[in-house]
Amino acid sequence: MATPPATPAPPQPSLTARGRSAQRSLEGAIRFFLMACAAVSVLTTVGIVVVLLVESLQFFQKVSLVEFLTETRWTPLIKPQHFGILPLFCGTLLVTGGAILIAAPLGLGAAIYLSEYAPNAVREVVKPMLEVLAGIPSVVYGVIAVMTVSPIIRSVFHSQSIFNALAASIVVGFMILPTIISLSEDVLRSVPRDLRSAAYALGATKYDVTVKVVFPAALSGIIASCLLAISRAVGETMAVTLAAGATPNMTLNPLESVQTMTAYIVQVSKGDTPAGSVEYQTIFAVGLALFISTMVLNLLAQWILSRMREKYE
């Protein structure tokens, strides 16, 4: 109407030329600082790889890679020394396998309940509770394993060994539950509503919709969540060290004491092995094996998740 068109305000001469250039160099300095912060994360990865490789290479000059991968005895701390990682790998596999056998059905059931069945009020109470489960330090699970789970297992199976893979599997299973539940619930909920409506319109029951439509649609994401959970179980340290013991053991019997890769690293770190000795270098070689196995699992899971995201977004 009568209001004059807004004219742009004349440039304020608040900054002198010198002030402006000072401002500009401050901006540049800040940008550089922030970039340095971001570079720390890249340097961390470089640091991990370099540290693991440098010490491992020295280790592999003394012990052949073939022996490391095929020898079935692991006795680096007692004579005669044997350096076969298979027993440690087997221990890790046993504990992780048991954990995922417990966590996958429970976690998927809970995820399906939370995403498909639960009323909003219940979900809003249960989800934070499960996040608490994720926030409890791993050493606490270890204490529970030693104090409660292991005695129960011993009385049920009449076994002698205080340390056993089963106790470790059970507590690690509960540790990785929140990973499976929260990720799987996310992918289940990200399945488009249209798919569900279409199935209901065809006369499907809730079960049909959930198991035959929603679950297959979310399957790749669910697999990714399980892979991430497995990776966590492989890297889990304190609970496993406390519960599974320190006996490198090529066994698939969950009632026996085993040693995982992580538990071995703890065992050596607690002792006083001089830097440069072959015993000291073993932890870097085992660490390298651990790093590679978890990284493969993580990358695979992320790749699956990103493909799933492309599909529905």
Partner 1 sequence: MNQVPRGEGSLEANRTYFGSRLFGWLCTAATLVCVLALIGLLVTVLVNGIPWLSWTLVSSYPSRDPEKAGVLSALVGSLWLIGLTAIISIPTGVGAALYLEEYSANTWWKKLIQLNIANLAGVPSIVYGILGLGLFVRAMSLDRSVIAGALTLTLVVLPIVILSTQEALRAVPGTIRSASYALGATRWQTVWNQVLPAAMPGVMTGVILAISRALGEAAPLVAVGAAAYVAFLPQSLSDEFSALPLQIFNWAERPQEEFHGLASAAIVVLLAVLILMNAGAVFVRAKYGRRIKW
Residues 61-100 within binding reach of partner 1 (CB under 8 A): none
- Does residue 230 bind partner 1 (CB under 8 A)? no
Backbone phi, psi, residue 79, to 5°: -85, 145
Residue pair 303/296 in contact (Cβ under 8 Å)? The answer is no
Backbone phi, psi, residue 83, to 5°: -120, 65
Question: Which of 234, 244, 304, 308 touches partner 1 by CB under 8 A?
Answer: 234
Rounded to 10 degrees, the C-alpha dihedral 54/59/64/67 comes to -120
- Does residue 252 bind partner 1 (CB under 8 A)? no
d(CA 155, CA 146): 14
CA 262 → CA 113, 125, 169, 242, distances in Å? 34, 35, 14, 11
d(CA 221, CA 209): 18
Supply the minimum distance, in Å, between the C-beta of residue 121 and partner 1: 14
Segment 114 to 133, residues that bind partner 1, using CB under 8 A: 114, 116-118, 126, 129-130, 132-133
- Does residue 35 bind partner 1 (CB under 8 A)? yes
What is residue 83's three-state secondary structure? Answer: strand
Supply the minimum distance, in Å, between the C-beta of residue 80 and partner 1: 26
Provide the mask over 155-184, with x wherever binding to partner 1 is found by CB under 8 A and - wherever it is not: -------------------x--x---x---
Question: Which of 19, 25, 31, 152 touches partner 1 by CB under 8 A?
Answer: 31
Question: Which of 19, 22, 25, 30 touches partner 1 by CB under 8 A?
Answer: 30
Size, binding site for partner 1 by CB under 8 A: 89
Q: Which stretch binds partner 1 (CB under 8 A): 73-81, 82-90, 238-246, 250-258?
A: 238-246
Taking the CA atoms of 276, 278, 279 and 284 in sequence, report the sign of the dihedral they define.
Answer: positive
Supply the minimum distance, in Å, between the C-beta of residue 214 and partner 1: 12
**Comparison of 86 and 130: residue with beta carbon closer to partner 1:** 130
Segment 180 to 219, residues that bind partner 1, using CB under 8 A: 181, 205-208, 210-211
- Does residue 223 bind partner 1 (CB under 8 A)? no
Supply the minimum distance, in Å, between the C-beta of residue 150 and partner 1: 11
d(CA 250, CA 99): 18
How does DSSP assign 253-293, residue by residue? -TTS----HHHHHHHHHHS-PPTTSHHHHHHHHHHHHHHHH
Supply the minimum distance, in Å, between the C-beta of residue 33 and partner 1: 6
d(CA 74, CA 78): 10
**Comparison of 94 and 305: residue with beta carbon closer to partner 1:** 305
Supply the minimum distance, in Å, between the C-beta of residue 186 and partner 1: 14
Segment 286 to 305, residues that bind partner 1, using CB under 8 A: 287, 290-291, 294-295, 297-299, 302
2: left (phi over 0), alpha (psi -120 to 50) or beta: alpha
